[in-house]
Amino acid sequence: MTTPYFLSTAIPYVNSRPHLGFAFEVVVADALARHRRRRGRDVRLVTGTDDHSLKNVLAAERAGVGTAAWVAGHADRFRALWPTLGATADEFVSTSLDPRHRAAVVALWQRLAAAGDLYRAPYRGLYCVGCERFVDAGDLVDGSCPEHGAPPEEVAEDNWFFRLGRHADAIRAAILDGRLAIEPASARDETLAFLERPVRDLSVSRSAARARGWGIPVPGDPDQVVYVWIDALAYYLASLGWPADDGPAAYRRYWAGDGERVHVIGKGITRFHAVIWPALLASAGLPLPTRVLVHGYVTVDGAKISKTGATIDPVPLAERHGVDALRHALLRTLRTTRDGDFREDRLIAAHDADLADQLGNLVQRTTSLAHRHAGGRVPRRADDDPDALALRATILELPARVDAAVDRFQLDEASAAIFAAVEATNRYVDRAAPWARARAGDRDGALAAVRTSLDAVAAIAGELTPFLPTAGAAVAAAVAADPDAPPWQQLTDGALLVAPSPLFPRLAP
C-alpha cells in the first residue's frame, strides 16, 4: 500500500463570491494532488468553506437575509468552483452544515481544556474583522490593517484564552529539525523570527452577543462562541471523521499514520498554520502537520486581489477562454510562492504561445506526419540517430525535473520544464525533417523520426496532465498513448491515430 498523502486547501470565508485568488489555491492544490497520484501516492485532498465568521454575518445583514441562508448559498458557489476549474476534492466541509465539524471542534476544545491550556480572562484590544483576529497597534499602517486596508475596532470582553506561549519552544524545535517543514524559506524564516520573540497567549472565544449568536458555543459556556480560526482549523480533522469512535479509518490512515500531512495556504495566514495550529495539535496530543506550503497572492496592479474593489471572478474567465487557458495562466505565468499580477491579456498570450503555437503545433505536425508517411499508425521505434537519442535523454529526464520543482513547491518551474521539453521536441522535428527524408527516399529514417517525435509527445502529455488535465488527456488521445505507462513506453507499434485536428485554437484574433 502506498504512503498516504493528506493535502488541504485553506477554507475561505463565504462573505462574497469566489475570486481568482482562491481559484489560484484550488488549482495549485489540485495540480499537486494529481502529480502525487501520478507518482503512485495515496492522496486525500480536502477543502470546504469557513462559515462561522463575523464577516459572513455582516455580509448577510447587508443583504437583508439570514446568516444560515446566506452561508448555504455561497458555500454552494465555492463547491461549484472546483469542477469549473477542472479540479476535484475528496472531501468538502462546510463548517456550519457538516455535522462532523461541530463534533471535531467540541472534541478539540475539550482536549485543550483537559491539558490545562484554556483559561478565561478579560481582554481589550484592536480587532480586524477582515483578518478575524486581534492586531497590535504597531502592526497598523496609518491606523489601518495593512492586509485589509481598514481600521480595526476596539473590543473589550471576557474571553477564553489558549496558552500558546507554552508550546512555542516545541513548535520552534519541530521547524528547526524538519518535522514541520515550511516552504518557501522566507515563510519559514518569518515564522522562526516570530517564535524567537515572547509569544502571547491567544484569545480563542468571542462573546455570543458580538457574534450575533452565530458560531459553535464554547462547551459549558453558552455565552461564548469558539473563535472562528480555532473553528476553521478543526476542519482538517473533521474532514477525516475525527473524533468518531476515537479515530475512524480515514483519520488513522491520513493523519495519525506515517504519511505526509500537507497544508496549501496563502501567505496571509501562515502564522495560523505554522504556529497556532501545531500548538493546538500538540496540546491535544495529536500529530502535527509535516509541511505547510505557502503561496503568494494574486494581485491586480500590485494590490491584493480582494482589496481592488473589482474582484476578478474566475468563472467567466473559464467560460470565455476555457479551463486549460485559465489553469495554464495560473500555474505557468504566476510564481507559486510569490505575489503575481494577473491580466487577462497575459492569459491569452500564454495560451497562444505555449498551448497553440508550441504544443498544439507539435501534436498537429507529428500526427500529420504519421498519417502522411505511416498510414496513420504509430511506426516502429528505431531511435539510434544521435539527435533522437539526445531527445530521448531529455524526455526521460523530464519527470525528475518536474518532481524537483514540485518538491520545492515551485509549480511554475515544473510547468516551465514541461514546455521546455515541448520546445526541444519541436526543434528535433525541425532538424530531423521526416518530410525531407521521405522525399530523399529514406523512408525508414522518416518513420524513425516520426516515432521518436510521437514518443516524446506521449511522455509530455503524461507530465502535463496533472497541471492541465483536459489538455493532457487530449494530447495523449491524439497520439494513442497509455498515460499510465512509463515515458518512452506509452505507444504501441501500429496503433491507429485519429485524424489530425487543431487541439488548441488561438484565442487572440
Q: What is the 3-state secondary structure (H, E, C) of 275-329?
A: HHHHHHHHHHCCCCCCEEEEECCEEECCEEHHHCCCCCCHHHHHHHHCHHHHHHH
Is residue 143 a contact partner of residue 154, using CB atoms and an 8 Å limit? no
Grid coordinates standing for 54? 463575523
User: Residue 452 above 60 pLDDT?
Assistant: yes
Tell me, what's the pLDDT at 226?
95
Could you tell me if residue 399 is inside a domain?
yes
pLDDT, mean of residues 266-295: 97
Among 166-180, 246-260, 317-331, 398-412, the range scoring the smallest mean pLDDT is 246-260
pLDDT digits (tens, 9 = 90+) for 327-348: 999 999 999 999 999 999 999 9
Strands 291-295 and 260-266: parallel
**DSSP secondary structure string for all residues of 210-260:** TTTT-SPEETTEEEEEE-HHHHHHTHHHHTTTTTGGGS-HHHHHHTSSSSE
Indicate the number of domains in the chain: 1
Is residue 352 a contact partner of residue 506, using CB atoms and an 8 Å limit? yes
pLDDT, mean of residues 194-198: 95
Could you tell me if residue 354 is inside a domain?
yes
List, in sequence order, every residue forming a beta bridge with 154; answer none if it has no partner: 126
Mean pLDDT for the chain?
92
Tell me, what's the pLDDT at 241?
94
Tell me, what's the pLDDT at 300?
86
- Give the position of cell 524559506: 185
Rounded CA separation 454/475 (Å):
10
Is residue 227 a contact partner of residue 206, using CB atoms and an 8 Å limit? yes
End-to-end Cα, the chain, rounded Å: 51
- Start-end of H helices in 336-410: 344-350, 361-373, 386-407
Could you tell me if residue 386 is inside a domain?
yes
List, in sequence order, every residue forming a beta bridge with 298; answer none if it has no partner: 340
Question: Could you list the residue range(s) of the whole structural domain that residue 404 is in?
Answer: 343-478
Look at residue 343 and give its three-state secondary structure.
coil
Could you tell me if residue 406 is inside a domain?
yes
Nearest to 266 by CA among 15, 4, 13: 13
- Give the position of cell 505554522: 274
493 C-beta neighbours (distance < 10 Å), count:
10
Among 80-84, 98-102, 311-315, the range scoring the smallest mean pLDDT is 311-315
pTM summary value: 0.93
pLDDT digits (tens, 9 = 90+) for 103-120: 999 999 999 999 999 999
- Give the position of cell 455580509: 59
Could you tell me if residue 417 is inside a domain?
yes
User: Residue 28 above 50 pLDDT?
Assistant: yes
Q: For the domain that residue 422 is a member of, what is the CATH number?
A: 1.10.730.10
Using N-to-C axis directions, what is the helix angle for 67-84 and 54-63, rounded to 10°? 100
User: Residue 367 above 50 pLDDT?
Assistant: yes
Tell me, what's the pLDDT at 307?
43
- Start-end of H helices in 115-182: 168-176
Could you tell me if residue 152 is inside a domain?
no
User: Residue 384 above 90 pLDDT?
Assistant: no
Among 28-42, 58-72, 196-210, the range scoring the smallest mean pLDDT is 58-72
User: Residue 324 above 70 pLDDT?
Assistant: yes
Q: How many CA atoms lie within 13 A of 346 on its CB side?
A: 13
Tell me, what's the pLDDT at 17?
86
The band of 53, judged by pLDDT with boundaries at 50, 70 and 90, is confident
Look at residue 400 and give its three-state secondary structure.
helix
Burial degree of 289 (CB within 10 A; 0-12, 13-18, 19+): buried
User: Residue 243 above 80 pLDDT?
Assistant: yes
**Which residues, 6 or more positions from 462, have their beta carbon under 8 angstroms from its beta carbon?**
38, 472, 476, 481, 483, 487, 490
Rounded CA separation 370/376 (Å):
5
| Helix/strand/coil percent split, the chain, to 5 | 50, 15, 30
User: Residue 308 above 60 pLDDT?
Assistant: no
Could you tell me if residue 213 is inside a domain?
no
88 C-beta neighbours (distance < 10 Å), count:
12
327 C-beta neighbours (distance < 10 Å), count:
27
Rounded CA separation 440/273 (Å):
65
DSSP strands (E only) in 10-117: 42-49, 91-94
Percent of the chain with pLDDT over 90: 79
